[in-house]
Structure 1
């Protein structure tokens, strides 16, 4: 997340095809794409316009690691970006958007249409496969309340709607996660989910739910002084953290 409330994320996509760039093309290492987006843009609209007007050929140096990306801003605008033959394929999406792994986003939407015709809310697939996780995420997000729920708000810290929204999304992510310390002997692709991240772009809050910790922590970017320039800060002191840890960072020597 950058200071303008623009968020960029990446996930593995085996189907990504980088291709070979011509000498005349501008290139960008796929692993640095997120940094490029966060350094240069404040909104999805800005990023989309720039990426379409000045095409970039994505490359992957060394070991091939197929990737795809989601960019989101405070307005609720999203775009999912995938790579085919080195070229960017951009899928704008307002409101709720979901991205998992293979297959491509275009193929995933066709599978979604199949499940949606069968009433996805009552027929969510349950395996750890990326298609099933995509359908569960989409099906649950369609049911989450966009408003404060009086029936449960007393359970939310500070009776705060923003916290209700964060925890709603986190609860969905937990249903998509692979259990901690699961054996991968039979299905090596079912890697344990090590952490889940939640970003509240309107309130500059970044929340982390670590699979090996009994508590959830968050960082309030409004409480951090960015005027001192770039600094490396760490929470890794071996102690279990809980709640707002913004003041617990220490400088990395």
Structure 2
């Protein structure tokens, strides 16, 4: 997916309020990733070795049939980078320059990294199930639109469980627990946690020193600070407003001249209500937030794949009815 050392994207999970488990993320990138909101029913046949029409895993590609329906945002039409399934399991791929999936081991079924998230959403209902399922396959580096897939993944479920999964020196490093709520980019998650431990956000105030730049370490700490300040929401509107407020705080302004030193503007922001299975999407070049109800679609095996191009300034509010049947599945 990425082409060089960059800082991009932030994920924030709010799993300790009494209303709903909600999560948000930013997608930061130097060009359009051609995002399409896509609803995929159960019973879809997957080939984990393909990137579009290109075979990425030639020997022993993973083959599976989706157990769960999902709503995702696709990237370049070859994989998913954000989304959730009907059981309330969600996930997000973010850039990590340190990612190293290791040498290919053909004894394990291979999944090209663009389908890493989709494999999880298709096959697991909880974070624990996702971790178990991932132990049966090997994630394989891929490339799309000239960008290699240097990524790590955050997953969370409707019970509030969370995990950060990175591949470092060819081995998976998993941080599993409800306390792992924030993720950005490099350095590795171990190092980010060490940096965060040097700060005390247990009693945040206006006097708390706070880094203000857009690099990954600053965004990580700023997101943690503002997450600690979120008030208990009385309804979904307040919960989503809180998550999107943090996402906007850690966003990079559209067109800002950060590209020269490897930090890119925010292309879009998402928020997911995992309790009620509702997906919110905000394109930074549009003045409107849109959302869709997963339960408003036919999710049974054989139902059509439904898609919506969010790059339409006339879209606003609940766009569930605006999705249209796709001519074919994106992958």
Normalising by the smaller structure, the TM-score range is 0.7 to 0.9
Deviations along 1:193-212, one digit per CA (max 9) or x if unpaired, are 11100010001110011111
CA distance in 2 between counterparts of 1:167 and 1:96 reads: 21
Q: Which of 184, 187, 199 is equivalent to 1:100?
A: 184
Structure-2 residue corresponding to 1:158: none
Indicate the residue corresponding to 1:36 in structure 2.
119
Query: CA separation in 2, counterparts of 1:75 and 1:17?
Result: 30
SS at match of 1:88: strand
Give the CA deviation at 1:120: 6.2
Aligned-residue offset at 1:49: 3.2
Which residue pairs with 1:70 in the alignment? 154
Q: Does residue 1:58 correspond to 2:139, yes or no?
A: yes
Pick the aligned partner of 1:24 from 86, 97, 107.
107
Check the 8 A contact 2:101/2:169 in 1, yes or no: yes
1: CA distance, partners of 2:231 / 2:201: 22
Alignment of 1:1-253 (within 5 A): 1-51=84-134, 54-62=135-143, 64-94=148-178, 97-116=181-200, 122-148=208-234, 161-184=235-258, 187-227=260-300, 228-235=302-309, 238-253=312-327
Offset from partner CA, 1:21-48 (integer Å, 9 cap, x none): 3343443322211011011100012122
**Bigger fraction of residues in strand:** 2
Partners of 2:111 and 2:188 lie apart in 1 by 21
Alpha-carbon separation, structure 2, partners of 1:65 and 1:22: 18
SS in 2 for 1:198: strand
TM-score after normalising by structure 2: 0.67
Write the distance in 2 (CA, Å) between the matches of 1:57 and 1:251.
Answer: 32
Verify the 8 A CA contact 1:44 1:72 in the aligned structure 2. Answer: yes
1:84 Cα deviation after fit: 1.6
- Shift of the alpha carbon at 1:55? 5.0
Displacement of 1:96 after TM fit?
A: 6.0
* Matched residue SS, 1:144: coil
Cα gap change, 1:45 to 1:237, in 2 (>3 Å)? closer
Distance in 2 between residues matched to 1:176 and 1:184, nearest whole Å: 14
Instruction: Measure the CA separation in 1 of the matches of 2:222 and 2:204.
Output: 8
Root-mean-square deviation (CA), in Å? 2.2
- Name the CA distance, whole Å, in 2 between partners of 1:179 and 1:117: 26
**Residues 164 and 180, structure 2, Cα contact 8 Å, conserved in 1:** no
Distance 1:34 1:230 in 2: 21
Deviation of 1:116 after TM superposition, in Å, equals: 2.4
CA contact (8 A) 1:180 1:193 kept: yes
In 1, the alpha carbon distance for the partners of 2:201 and 2:178 equals: 21
Separation in 1, partners of 2:233, 2:313 = 36
Distance 2:202 2:230 in 1: 19
